[in-house]
Structure 1
Amino acid sequence: MDAQGKERFAKLLHHRAGALEKGAPVAPPIVSATTYHLPEVEGASHVYGRMSMPTWDAVEAQLGILEDAPCVAFPSGMAAISAALFATLTDRKKLIIPADGYYVTRVLSAEFLAAYGVEVIEVPTAGIEVADVSGGAVVFIETPSNPGLDCCDISLIAQRVRTAGGLLIVDNTTMTPLLQRPLDLGADMVVAADTKAPGGHSDILFGHVATRDVDLAARVRNWRKLSGATPGAFEAWLLHRGIETLEVRLERMCASAQIIAERLADHPTVQNLRYPGLPGDPSHAIAKRQMAGFGFLIGFELASAEQAEAFLSACPYITQTTSFGGTHSAGERRARWGDPVAPGFIRLSVGVEPVEPLWAAIKAALDG
């Protein structure tokens, strides 16, 4: 993380201090009230729980400092993605999404958006830089892609999309705004599942949308109010707490991922290893240019589905789960969800365990 990022995170940790009165709690209280005292509506800070809550305010302020943009909180990453798409696909009826991105975004697009008359076009992440973005399309990208970890040039795509009269949405879940800043690179909107690294402890669902476009922000906020896609106060409080340790967790996770990826590259059973921090990775040049770190996700293949499952079962320091970004290292065979990957492909999310015991367990399971 660069000096500006460190300054931003220091500001985040103390963002409540200026408003604290003597004896006030440093940590934000959990306020779950749905109704508020309203002898008059005009000028009220809060009106009804579907519109805003004090605990959302605190976490949206945190996220806003990280993104350097207004943020709208949602009860999950998919709720944030849905809000971004439904807020932009009004007069725009062409949507370009990654064919190799998070599969639920593809399912939502195929089963619902297409049924509402949206032309949904799937393009591999590696090909989006040269895709036909004409006609004022909404272009939705993930970089690195999940789970294949291909990267694409955000600045280049943003320029092409803007020239064509379109809008660019970037799913930045895998990187967080500490490691990659799509809005600074020209994106119109960012979505993220804060369920992952920002929460960090595998105990909440949460998401957010960030944009510097006032009109888009208003549409997203209105979508939340009208659709009822509202987060809970307790989840917002947990996220606020989780974000305060995000920088130190990411530092350990990314450093460990680099070491483990380099060692996996030398293991005879590992095939088609992907990690953007490896100089030989196809995405290394782009990642080095637009990211402040290479992340904590590693992709690799073993010879078969059976071998992959045996490895995951044999490693005591890999939790077999479908999420990522938590304190525990986690892995799964992604083909079981229908991702377009080899049967033996494993997505490994490196946690905060000390790296040498973690690697020893991984190596023993691979050797076995």
Structure 2
Amino acid sequence: MDGLYGDSTRSVKAVSPEEIPGAPIAAPPVPAAAYHIPSSEDDSLDSYGRYHNPTWRQLESALAELEGAAAALAFGSGMAAITSVLRALVKPGATVVVPADGYYQVRRYATDSLSRQGVTVIEATCAEMVDAATAADVVLAETPSNPGLDVVDLHHLAMTCRNRGAILVVDNTTATPLGQQPLSLGADLVVGSATKMLSGHHDVLAGYVAGCHTEQIAAIENERRLTGPILGALEAWLVLRSIGTAGLRFERQCQNALAIAMTLHSRPAVRSVRYPGLTDDPSHEIANRQMKRFGGIVAVELENAAAVHSLVHNSELFVFATSFGGIHSSVDRRARWGDPVPEGFARISAGIEDTDDLITDLEQALG
């Protein structure tokens, strides 16, 4: 029956604990660093907060449910999740492909850290990813890419990786599991920043890994245990509580993003707009095949940096902030962070404001 449920129902069911008479409907956080060890010294029970936590387990169960995975692991941030996967799976002498047009910190980690360990790092754009995978041992793809919103054909990429014997890891942050299911398209692992749409309130950092291969999950869990990039129990509880409304919030964010993209598309002063949900977007055909929803992010190029600042200054609803996926609509000029984009390029994250209000505000802010 689960496959027939809508996204809001899936979100609520994912965070619903087992029904036990007298127990709370919403499980409380368990902020424990140490636990009573039974005289049997049973290793399967909780013993130390860096190894186990009941709140983690409930969050991980919810994340696995949403991603269609057998298991998930929670981390202190999306970058902690990604770097733990790469450390666990990429060995000296191996070749790894990372997104050339994706989140810039991933490229920095690969070139600054993995390269020094004897790993060959290949940077590939979404368009180059399939060809690059023919020479790789591990491929990390991000789709839609952040911030340009290009899309990778995940089924094609997965088949290429399988023929090569390579591991395919997909960063599902921008799409979320409510917009895209990489594991069903052939990916081995999914990574994501739960800081963004899943928590969605600009108040917690979290990341996760999800997959169906027991040995891969075990290797990554061991890496987490040894290096300690864990998620605090209270933070895990905040993400868990937020997931229950993720379906509602993401539906509104996608609705607002499409309206924003269409409004920007009609303005002569706007140099370019990217949103996979626009029918004339270069990525629309592939996105339409593999995405259920097109996400809450719009990429836009205005004349220059001053035009981006003017947009935010004139707006009553768009805040100037980095990150994305929260309840507030926001604008982030990406060149300031070192992304290889024009000075007037901005990533707009649609919030959950009423669509008509948001578009009215955007139109007056553009002038």
Q: Same fold (TM over 0.5)?
A: yes
CA contact (8 A) 1:133 1:161 kept: yes
SS for the counterpart of 1:268 is: coil
With normalisation by structure 1, the TM-score equals 0.95
Distance in 2 between residues matched to 1:202 and 1:124, nearest whole Å? 29
Q: Is the 8 A contact 2:8 2:248 kept in 1?
A: no
Residues 122-153 of structure 1 show CA distances to partners (whole Å, capped at 9, x for unaligned) of: 1111221233522x521111111000000010
C-alpha displacement at 1:19, in angstroms?
Answer: 3.1
1:21 aligns with 2:20: yes
Shift of 1:41: 2.0
Distance 1:97 1:88 in 2: 14
Q: Is the 8 A contact 1:16 1:26 kept in 2?
A: no
Distance change in 2, residues 1:263/1:251 (3 Å): same
Deviation of residue 83 (structure 1)? 1.0
Q: Residues of 2 paired with 1:12 and 1:304: CA distance? A: 40
Whichever residue aligns with residue 22 of structure 2, its letter is G
1:243-286 deviation line (CA, Å, top 9, x unaligned):
00000111111111112211211111111110101111000000
- How high is the TM-score relative to the length of structure 2? 0.96
Structure 2 counterparts to residues 166-245 of structure 1, below 5 A: 166-245=166-245
Q: Which whole-Å deviations, capped at 9, do the CAs of 1:150-196 have from their partners, x for residues lacking one?
A: 00100100110110111111000001111100010001111000000
User: 8 Å contact 2:11–2:243 — kept in the other structure?
Assistant: no
Q: Relative to structure 1, is the Cα distance of residues 8 and 307 closer, same or farther in structure 2, using a 3 angstrom cutoff?
A: closer
2:127 corresponds to which residue?
Answer: 126
Q: Which amino acid in the other structure matches residue 236 of structure 2?
A: A
After TM superposition, list the pairs within 5 Å mapping 1:242-321 onto structure 2. Answer: 242-321=242-321
Deviation at 1:229, TM superposition (A): 1.0
2:126 alignment partner AA: T
Which segment is superposed worse, 310-319 or 59-68?
A: 310-319
Question: Is the Cα–Cα contact under 8 Å of residues 92 and 137 in structure 1 kept in the other structure?
Answer: no
For 1:326 and 1:5, locate their aligned partners in 2 and report how far apart those are by CA, in whole Å.
Answer: 27
C-alpha distance in structure 2 between counterparts of 1:250 and 1:127, whole Å? 30
- Distance in 2 separating the partners of 1:320 and 1:17: 35
**Could you say what secondary structure the match of 1:131 adopts?**
helix
Instruction: Indicate yes or no: 2:105 matched with 1:104.
Output: yes
8 Å CA contact 1:8, 1:66 repeated in 2? no
Which residue identity is paired with 1:55? Answer: T
TM-fit CA distance, 1:10: 3.0
Unaligned runs of 5+ in 1: none
How many angstroms apart in 1 are the aligned matches of 2:13 and 2:133? 45
Q: After TM superposition, give the deviation of residue 45 of structure 1 in Å.
A: 2.4
| Pair 1:186–1:258, CA change in 2 (3 A) | same
Deviations 1:6-36 (A, max 9, x none): 3676355245767343221111111111111
Partner Cα distance (1:258, 1:236) in 2: 31
| Equivalent-residue separation in structure 1 for 2:149 and 2:62 (angstroms) | 28
Whole-angstrom CA distance in 1 between matches of 2:114 and 2:351: 35
Distance 2:269 2:203 in 1: 34
Is the CA contact (8 Å cut-off) linking 2:329 and 2:352 kept in structure 1?
yes
Please say if residues 76 and 205 of structure 2, whose CA atoms lie closer than 8 Å, have aligned partners that are also in contact: yes
In 2: Cα distance, 1:230 partner to 1:24 partner: 27
| Cα displacement (A) at 1:40 | 2.6
Matched residues in 1 for 2:288 and 2:105: separation? Answer: 28
| SS of 1:72 mapped into structure 2 | strand
Local SS of the residue matching 1:287: helix
What letter matches 2:84 in structure 1?
A
Matching residue's letter, 1:139: V
2:3 and 2:141 map into 1 onto residues whose CA distance is 25
8 Å contact kept, 2:312–2:331: yes
Q: How far, CA to CA, are the matches of 2:104 and 2:15 in structure 1? A: 38
Distance in 2 of aligned mates of 1:350 and 1:207:
21
Task: Give the distance between the partners of 1:339 and 1:360, measured in 2 at CA.
Answer: 30
Q: How many residues align?
A: 365
Give the secondary-structure state (helix, strand or coil) at the position aligned to 1:184.
helix
For the 8 Å contact 2:93–2:120, the answer to whether it is kept is: no
Runs (4 or more) in structure 1 with deviation over 4 Å come to: 15-18
Cα RMSD of the aligned pairs, angstroms, is 1.7
Q: Which residue of structure 2 lines up, in the alignment, with residue 335 of structure 1?
A: 335
Structure 2 SS opposite 1:179? coil
Question: Which amino acid in the other structure matches residue 4 of structure 1?
Answer: G
* Aligned twin of 2:34: 35
Which residue number corresponds to residue 83 of structure 2? 82
Cα 1:326–1:18 shift into 2, 3 Å: closer
Q: CA deviation at 1:200?
A: 0.5
1:207 CA displacement: 0.4
Q: Deviations over 1:85-105 (max 9, x none)?
A: 111102661111111100000
In structure 1, the partner of 2:50 is: 50
Structure 1 Cα separation of the partners of residues 280 and 11 of structure 2: 36
- Which amino acid in structure 1 is aligned with residue 323 of structure 2? S
Query: 1:6 and 1:181 mapped to 2: Cα distance?
Result: 15
Q: Which residue of 1 aligns with 2:143?
A: 143
C-alpha distance in structure 1 between counterparts of 2:9 and 2:276, whole Å: 27
Q: 1:220 to 1:268 in 2, by over 3 A?
A: same
Q: What residue in structure 2 maps to residue 347 of structure 1? A: 347
The aligned amino acid for 1:33 is A
Aligned to 2:5: 6
Distance 2:16 2:175 in 1: 28
Cα offset, 1:319, TM superposition: 1.2
